[in-house]
Structure 1
Amino acid sequence: MTVMCDDQPKGGRFEAGEHRFAVRVYFEDTDLSGVVYHANYLRYMERARSDMLRVAGIDQRAAHEAGEGAYAVTDIAIRYAAPARLDDDLLVTSRLVELSPVRVVIHQTVRCGTVKLTDAKVTVAWVGPNGRPRRQPADWITIYQRLVWQGDTERP
């Protein structure tokens, strides 16, 4: 069961088939040179993917607690183009680009204003409690089918 607090963090939203998730760069996100440490872009994208699923109506926590399984990242291709800095307001966009019974491929981009900082193609597989791939829940597949991006998309 999800515990709700009085003050809720601002979540993302879908717009024209794309999930949009805002992130602010904090001091802890930066390295000694004052720019965002490269691994933190992966954290921003993970938060955006989790929020995308929650907004779409997929309850990962309930599935995990029921012993059905969890998602595991099986492949990621990422390209860095420009750095983010302390206090920058970033936007992580996520588009579902491929779907199979056991996996989902998501294209994600991190921007600061109109500047693309990084983009990635992330593959996640649904795995059972034993760690082996298995079919995703059927109702999730139905949700995903509505979200699969039909237009042109930038690919890493």
Structure 2
Amino acid sequence: MTMTPIRGAFKGAEHHFPVHVYFEDTDLSGIVYHANYLRFFERARSDMLARLDIDQREAIEAGTGAYAVTQMGIEWKSPAKLGDDLLVVSRVENVRAASCFIQQAVMRSGEILCQATVTAALLSPDGRPVRQPAEWVEKFKAVLAKGEE
């Protein structure tokens, strides 16, 4: 039997990424520790890039650069708990020359537990903002277009 890691998928303009809450994600009371939502969001964004065939490792090794979160606004609405099955929904809202704006939500059975607005910029190996490769911008624009249909 071949086992493969869990992956997300696009549903129209939204990227859906499943997350199960394990003991390590929680505090002593069995509630997801607030900082772990950042990890859930990061995993979902990384998977979204992979589903768009944007290879972050290849980009780093080639000296193209890497994405870094430059700004994030986050709102916690209701706690996730040990054993919950969650869904992280990500949606690209806007793309600029060197950055992307992404809306994300952690959901349980359709209820938003936590939501974030994220700005991610492509940074060169020396930490300066650089233009995203044109083919990446086109992939983001194709996803944006699905949301306008």
**TM-score normalised by structure 1 residue count:** 0.90
Give me the identity figure in percent. 52
SS in 1 for 2:93: strand
Number of residue pairs matched? Answer: 147
1:54 aligns with 2:50: yes
SS in 2 for 1:82: coil
Contact 2:66 2:124 in 1 (8 A): yes
1:41 aligns with 2:37: yes
Contact 1:96 1:149 in 2 (8 A): no
Question: 1:151: how far off?
Answer: 5.2
Which ranges of 4 or more aligned residues in structure 1 deviate by more than 3 Å?
Answer: 149-152
1:71 aligns with 2:60: no
Distance (Å, rounded) in 1 between the aligned partners of 2:50 and 2:64 = 17
SS in 1 for 2:100: strand
Contact 2:13 2:147 in 1 (8 A): no
Contact 1:82 1:117 in 2 (8 A): yes
SS in 1 for 2:102: strand
Letter in 2 for 1:56: L
Gaps of 5+ in 2: none
Letter in 1 for 2:100: V
Contact 1:97 1:149 in 2 (8 A): no
Gaps of 5+ in 1: 1-5
